[in-house]
């Protein structure tokens, strides 16, 4: 049996649509060859292709005029925080407006929703819900703390030179405006509550969870990105803290384990300690304890004044 002709390079390493195949002059017989597998209507997979969310989402988006990638799939593609139990999901989520037929594809979760033009964008050729709209779409299934953590990620200011973007994805005011457009949305009550808890300044979900644990225990809301010298942009900063009581708080996540980061952290710690601040460092063990021990220690420090 004669081996099939090689695929064009742009079709050999990722899912593609039948329209892309025709544009590359691939006929029906070539699409039935053993090195290709159908993946639902209008989509083909090269044999041996390793699952990759973005590539499959791009093909699904291209094969579904009027539809867009949404919900958990959009969160993964945007790089938004998700609870661990959602991160490995291989089902793709696709939304359509009510005027179009419902999604019926194996391995695809379909949604029929009301959407406004500014809530859908195009990223690398993929029609996809914006990060802010993705946040709203997930309001029904995320716990409140997780919805706040994702919201904190949306409004935070990116680090200059370290990230692909220079502006926040959205603002709290823009989120409030979006919520007003969707008063009957499932999860809207939780989303309204969450948006009032979102703050600019948290660089990770554990930082958000720590802040929420402190305030839920009745402690004052801490300042975020607390600089030792407020008017000096080069002054070392703690992730959270209480300036009046001279208390600085840090959460040491995985990125703090590199030698370079540890060296920077040590210098920052020494400067705060030398200035007479009480300095707390919490980690994944404290997170696993829901920060109960952390709250007790900070409460004692605040009382000691």
Query: Among 239, 241, 205, 204, which residue's Cα sits nearest to residue 221?
Result: 241
What is the residue whose two structure tokens read 């009581």? 245
pLDDT at residue 34, as a whole number = 87
| Angle between helix 144-155 and 172-181 (nearest 10) | 120
Provide the token pair at 11.
């079709």
The 10 Å Cβ neighbour count of residue 267 is 10
- pLDDT tens digits for range 80-92: 999 988 877 888 9
pLDDT at residue 184, as a whole number = 94
What are the residue ranges of CATH 3.40.960.10 in the chain? 205-304
Residue 63 CA to residue 19 CA, distance in Å, equals 8
- Domain spanning 205-304 has what CATH number? 3.40.960.10
Counting as low any pLDDT under 70, the low residues of the chain are 1-2, 254-260
Residue 11 CA to residue 304 CA, distance in Å, equals 66
pLDDT at residue 9, as a whole number = 87
Query: Among 112, 117, 136, 135, which residue's Cα sits nearest to residue 127?
Result: 117
Strands (E) across 75-139 are located at 92-97, 108-113, 120-123, 126-129
Distant-in-sequence, close-in-space partners of 33: CB < 8 Å, separation ≥ 6: 4
pLDDT at residue 201, as a whole number = 96
Q: Where are the alpha helices (DSSP H) in the chain?
A: 18-23, 28-31, 53-62, 71-78, 84-87, 131-137, 144-155, 172-181, 188-195, 205-216, 259-274, 284-288, 292-304
Query: Among 17, 118, 16, 122, which residue's Cα sits nearest to residue 78?
Result: 122
SS3 227: strand
Determine the length of the chain.
Answer: 305
pLDDT at residue 13, as a whole number = 87
């Amino acid at each position: 049996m004669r081996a099939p002709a090689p695929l064009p390079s742009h079709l050999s390493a990722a899912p593609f649509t039948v329209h892309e195949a025709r544009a590359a002059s691939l006929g029906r017989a070539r699409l039935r060859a053993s090195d290709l597998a159908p993946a639902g209507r209008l989509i083909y997979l090269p044999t041996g292709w390793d699952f990759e969310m973005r590539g499959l989402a791009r093909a699904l988006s291209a094969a579904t005029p009027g539809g867009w990638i949404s919900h958990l799939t959009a969160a993964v593609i945007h790089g938004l925080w998700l609870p661990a139990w959602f991160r490995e999901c291989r089902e793709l989520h696709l939304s359509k407006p009510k005027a179009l037929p419902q999604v019926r594809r194996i391995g695809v979760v379909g949604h029929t929703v009301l959407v406004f033009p500014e809530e859908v964008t195009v990223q690398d050729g993929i029609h996809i819900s914006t990060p802010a709209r993705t946040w709203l779409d997930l309001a029904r299934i995320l716990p409140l703390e997780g919805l706040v953590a994702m919201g904190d990620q949306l409004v935070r200011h990116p680090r200059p030179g370290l990230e692909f973007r220079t502006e926040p994805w959205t603002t709290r005011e823009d989120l409030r405006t979006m919520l007003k457009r969707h008063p009957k949305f499932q999860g809207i009550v939780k989303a309204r509550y969450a948006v009032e808890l979102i703050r600019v300044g948290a660089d990770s979900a554990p930082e958000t969870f720590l802040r929420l644990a402190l305030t839920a225990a009745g402690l004052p809301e801490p300042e975020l990105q607390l600089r030792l010298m407020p008017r000096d942009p080069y002054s070392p900063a703690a992730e959270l803290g209480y300036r009046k009581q001279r208390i600085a708080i840090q959460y040491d996540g995985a990125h703090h384990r590199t030698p370079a980061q540890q060296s920077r952290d040590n210098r920052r710690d020494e400067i705060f300690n030398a200035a007479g601040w009480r300095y707390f460092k919490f980690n994944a063990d404290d997170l696993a304890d829901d920060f109960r021990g952390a709250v007790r220690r900070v409460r004692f420090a605040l009382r000691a004044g």
